Amino acid sequence: MSSRFLELAVVALIALTLLGCERESRRFSDSPATPRGVQTIRQSELQPGSSIPTSGPPSPYDDNAYAVSQGKQLFEWFNCKGCHADGGGSIGPALMDEKWIYGSAPANIYATIVEGRPNGMPSFRDKIPPQQVWQLVAYVRSLSGQLRKDVEPSRADHLFTRKSESSSPKSAPVSSSAPRDTQ
């Protein structure tokens, strides 16, 4: 009985350590792949078939707390806050709710940042290197609780305007472009 417990404990410890490795790893000279389709400029919102592809490369930083907190810093540095506020939205849409106009998959968010979107979202093509775009993608996903709790930031460097990312509830993504006040 006790040896079985010991075995379990050792396995759990190894699993925790391995998880921790990814959570803490700092990859400075990473060059993650760019999702397919992001290299071209899209001229129209109309297309036949499903509007938002949900497949694509997984986000390289979904399990990496360091990258998410870097993304949080870049969110401020690159003035994402200027329109999306602290995630609650102002002249740009909210990022901490369940609604996604252009898709919630990492590749969709990547494309949104790099290509820009109608009605104000600028294109950051060539202005943000792929590694930092992926860090921003991971952080944007953490805003609505799409990442693991222990990876999401648990505190802010500045004044708290809302609950921390790690203590806000996870919301199931819904494809919607309805503005907030029509709810």
Applying CB under 8 A, the residues found at the interface with other proteins are: 26, 28-29, 31, 77-78, 124, 126-129, 131-132, 157
Q: CB of 140: closest distance to other proteins in angstroms?
A: 17
Of the CA atoms within 13 Å of residue 144, those in its CB half-sphere come to 20
Which residue number, 31 or 164, has a Cβ lying nearer to other proteins?
31
Q: CB of 127: closest distance to other proteins in angstroms?
A: 5
> Which residues neighbour 130 within 8 Å (Cβ) at sequence distance 6 or greater?
31, 32, 33, 34
Distance (Å, whole) CA 28 – CA 31: 9
Longest C-alpha distance within the chain, in Å? 66
Which residue number, 36 or 127, has a Cβ lying nearer to other proteins?
127
Closest to 54 (Cα-Cα) out of 175, 179, 177, 176: 175
Q: CB of 75: closest distance to other proteins in angstroms?
A: 12
Structure token pair of residue 49 = 């078939």
Q: CB of 35: closest distance to other proteins in angstroms?
A: 17
The SS3 assignment for 148 reads: coil
Closest to 79 (Cα-Cα) out of 121, 107, 25: 121
Which residue number, 135 or 142, has a Cβ lying nearer to other proteins?
135
Which residue number, 26 or 36, has a Cβ lying nearer to other proteins?
26
Which residue number, 10 or 77, has a Cβ lying nearer to other proteins?
77
The SS3 assignment for 117 reads: strand
Q: CB of 26: closest distance to other proteins in angstroms?
A: 7
